[in-house]
Amino acid sequence: MVNTPPSQASETQYQVENPQAEVEAIIETPDSDADIDLEFLYTRDIEFRQETIYFIVIDRFHDGNPGNNKGFNSELYDPEKKEWGKYWGGDLKGIIDKLDYLRNLGVTAIWLTPLFEQVEELFIESAAIHGYWTKDFKRLNPRFIAPDDEPSLNKTQDTRNTVFDRLIEELHKRNMKLILDIVCNHSSPDTGGSKGELYDDGVKIADFNDDKDNWYHHYGEVNNWEDEWQVQNCELCGLATFNENNIQYRNYIKSAIKQWLDRGVDALRVDTVKHMPIWFWQEFNSEMYNHKPDVFIFGEWIYSRPDDDLSVEFANNSGMTILDFGLCMALRQALGTNDEAGFYLINDVLKQDYRYNGATELITFIDNHDMHRFLTLNPDVDNLRLAVDFLMTSRGIPCLFYGTEQYLHNDTNGDNNIYGNNDPYNRPMMDTWDTETPIYWDVRKLSGLRRLNPAISMGSQWEKYITPDVFCYVRRYNGSRCFVALNRGDTVTLEEVDTELPDREHTCVLTGRKFEVKDGKIYNFELGAKEAIVISHVGERLKAQTIVRAQLNGVQTQLGERIVVIGDCPELGNWDIGKAYPLEYINPNTWFAEIPFNESAGKLISYKYVMLREGTSPLRENLLARRWVIASEGTVKWRDTWASGTES
Ligand code: NOJ
Ligand code: CA
């Protein structure tokens, strides 16, 4: 169900879910910990922040159909898997074959490298195995599908029985989601004299070298990365760069992506977002949300950082969240290259969460196809495990690069540079499928916990103890808590550490170790070398016909000040401030609450936020009340920004 905004709408990204199954599962699932019933928690209707993402380079995952390996140009295929720039055979059937492996790992959403039809030539000794040199955004790369699927038999988007459709079906059958990687910034580089030849379901529509209709920018390569105009208009690595001012181009790319959404794609990962102006993304995203209201979208702003104004501005105003490169680099320094500042580096990034409107929605990761694999930085598998355990329990939505759980890495040309790009050696063929590795098990357990415990997916993060080697933190939301302790060094004993857990004996989800909590603390807390401890406590969850996840940004509160929401309906106290609904502090820029609606589900309501201050009168927002039609069922989001207050 969609919340329908009346004319004066708050800044809201629609999110349509049916939380019933989720909420019931959470209420009935026992508050532990060691024994999470994963099956019970699998539902496609989960909030995206509860997902565990797994990123796959399709060609390097699994060859499920050797019949498609040669594609249109057999020269680009290397059956020996020695030439790293050539295709090695992975395909969509291979992914279908491994879906049970992935689901068992706890993966709930897979992000696939772009699967559109690519140029079939080598460029700097590399074929487009990665999928970022598109020829036709409406067709699939023939190497990833079945030989008689589109487009070789000239089937079009109307065809609905391809291996792609089967992949979606098989994913959805398992309550898993598909994230499609899309590229709006560019098509292809110069291969054999042709550049940017673009097709619309088989019909040629543009050509960089014969650009009568101005589909492309022609300003040459970016040479000053500090110049925003150049970054947005010039070329990246010789790739033909689309001219977003051309409405034909915009209609083409939007219609192409909508077709994939219609075929069942659940979410989008968007390439090179810093290379196009924000207005393009705002227009593009609103159109995607109108077309498929519950689509989740995140972008790649390369090397985004919380202290980089442009990337933060993009995350806050473009309509999509972003991949969290800032946290990734801190993790790589702290646990990859063992920087002496250790966990302080990570904490310094978290301390800047207030710069984002939605820090809990950032996509977190430790490596990807554009940088050295973590194990190439540091072959210590215990450090890798600590990094993964952090990702799975910290704020943000974790994304694992394929093979992490199998310790997959190839160190050719490896070095210890956290920014280094050892493409293509970071894209080895997945070759083992061991379901008993320690990381496989950690991910499995913690992915279940992300769905079980809302403090992990939506809550605030509180530092409890920190040194370069030891980091203890609590995730907190409503009555739920998750206490995490990570130790990169030798065994230590902490005299006491605050856990915020209820007083009783608790069991660590990962190790099964038992801990007595008294006054909310663990005394004489012994943490083994390279050990990770995770203790979860799930409070009572909401049950309602409609749940509104209300997020308020931009309000500066001092100690003792609280935010509530009041409105003209019983759920919001009928304007009686004594009955207003409380929001919870997430960080200095974000207050959040899940608000249950029963009586007013399906009705038009008015509301505004109020700051309650000790010893003085409440400060109400200074605006005509916000108005909203509450969905008749399901879960929806309000994204509001505090309107300056007026004394009352
Ligand atoms: C970022 C992608 O992740 C990278 O692999 C690709 O080469 C560039 N964008 C260009 O599309
Ligand atoms: Ca194949």
Give residue 14's pLDDT. 33
Distance 28 CA to ligand 2 centre (A): 43
Can 207 be counted among the known catalytic residues?
no
Query: Cβ(268)–Cβ(180) under 8 Å?
Result: yes
Q: CA angle at residue 361 from 355 to 366, to 5 degrees?
A: 95
pLDDT tens-place string over residues 87-129: 999 999 999 999 999 999 999 999 999 999 999 999 988 999 9
347, exposed or middle or buried, with CB in 10 Å at 0-12, 13-18, 19+?
middle
Testing ligand 1's pocket by substitution, the residue of 272, 399, 426 carrying the most ligand atoms inside 8 A of its CB is 272
Q: How far apart are CA 623 and CA 289, in angstroms?
A: 27
- Among left, alpha and beta (phi > 0; psi -120 to 50; other), residue 194 is beta
- % of the chain with per-residue pLDDT over 90: 85
Sign of torsion, CA 320 326 328 331?
negative
Sign of torsion, CA 590 594 599 601?
positive
Among 44-53, 63-72, 158-167, 221-230, the minimum mean pLDDT is found in 158-167
Q: Which ligand is nearest to the CA of 65?
A: 2
Give residue 342's pLDDT. 98
pLDDT reading at 28 higher than 70 = no
Q: How far apart are CA 426 and CA 475, in angstroms?
A: 33
Give the mean pLDDT of the chain.
Answer: 92
Catalytic residue among 22, 120, 271, 361: 271
Average pLDDT over residues 537-553: 93
pLDDT reading at 532 higher than 90 = yes
Give me the residues paired with residue 590 across strands.
Answer: 553, 587
- The total of other beta-carbon atoms located within 10 Å of residue 51's CB is 25
**What 3-state class would DSSP assign to 463?**
strand
Q: Whose CA is nearest to atom 5 of ligand 1?
A: 370
Give residue 156's pLDDT. 54
C-alpha distances (whole Å) from 424 to each of 372, 384, 409 are 9, 21, 11
Give residue 37's pLDDT. 59
Give 419's pLDDT tier (boundaries 50, 70, 90): confident
Give residue 354's pLDDT. 97
Q: How far apart are CA 89 and CA 86, in angstroms?
A: 9
Average pLDDT over residues 136-161: 74
Give residue 453's pLDDT. 95
Give residue 161's pLDDT. 80
Query: Cβ(44)–Cβ(296) under 8 Å?
Result: no
Give 13's pLDDT tier (boundaries 50, 70, 90): very low
Q: How far apart are CA 529 and CA 380, in angstroms?
A: 13
Query: Cβ(265)–Cβ(210) under 8 Å?
Result: no
Catalytic residue among 91, 136, 201, 300: 300
pLDDT reading at 8 higher than 90 = no
Q: Per the structure block, which two tokens stand in for 137?
A: 């955004």
Give 149's pLDDT tier (boundaries 50, 70, 90): confident
Q: How many helices, marked H, and strands, marked E, lie in the chain?
A: 15, 30
Task: Report strand pairing: 604-612 vs 619-621.
Answer: antiparallel
Task: Report strand pairing: 584-587 vs 590-597.
Answer: antiparallel
Average pLDDT over residues 422-429: 95
Q: What is the pTM of this model?
A: 0.94
pLDDT tens-place string over residues 379-403: 999 999 999 999 999 999 999 999 9
Query: Cβ(412)–Cβ(364) under 8 Å?
Result: no
Distance 268 CA to ligand 1 centre (A): 15
What number of residues does the chain have? 648
Give residue 22's pLDDT. 37
Give residue 462's pLDDT. 98
Q: Whose CA is nearest to atom 2 of ligand 1?
A: 271
Q: How far apart are CA 283 and CA 278, in angstroms?
A: 9
Give residue 536's pLDDT. 96
Average pLDDT over residues 264-280: 98
Q: Which ligand is nearest to the CA of 55?
A: 1
pLDDT reading at 2 higher than 70 = no
Q: How far apart are CA 15 and CA 11, in angstroms?
A: 13
Give residue 36's pLDDT. 53
Q: How far apart are CA 488 and CA 468, in angstroms?
A: 8
Sheet-wide strand order for 460-466: 460-466, 470-477, 480-487, 532-537
Distance 194 CA to ligand 2 centre (A): 27
Residues with a CB atom less than 6 Å from ligand 1: 130, 132, 183, 271-272, 300, 369-370
Q: Which ligand is nearest to the CA of 235?
A: 1
Testing ligand 1's pocket by substitution, the residue of 132, 182, 301, 423 carrying the most ligand atoms inside 8 A of its CB is 132
Q: How far apart are CA 248 and CA 250, in angstroms?
A: 5
Query: Cβ(444)–Cβ(430) under 8 Å?
Result: no
Give 30's pLDDT tier (boundaries 50, 70, 90): very low
Give residue 20's pLDDT. 34
Cα 436 to chain center, whole Å?
A: 26
Q: Closest Cα partner for 300 from 317, 316, 268, 323?
A: 323
Give residue 39's pLDDT. 64
- % of the chain with per-residue pLDDT over 70: 92
pLDDT tens-place string over residues 475-508: 999 999 999 999 999 999 999 999 999 999 999 9
Q: How far apart are CA 608 and CA 569, in angstroms?
A: 12
Give residue 43's pLDDT. 72
pLDDT tens-place string over residues 582-592: 999 999 999 99
Testing ligand 1's pocket by substitution, the residue of 323, 370, 402 carrying the most ligand atoms inside 8 A of its CB is 370
User: To which residue do tokens 């206490």 refer?
Assistant: 483
User: Could you tell me the end-to-end alpha-carbon distance of the chain, in angstroms, rounded to an integer?
Assistant: 36
Can 271 be counted among the known catalytic residues?
yes
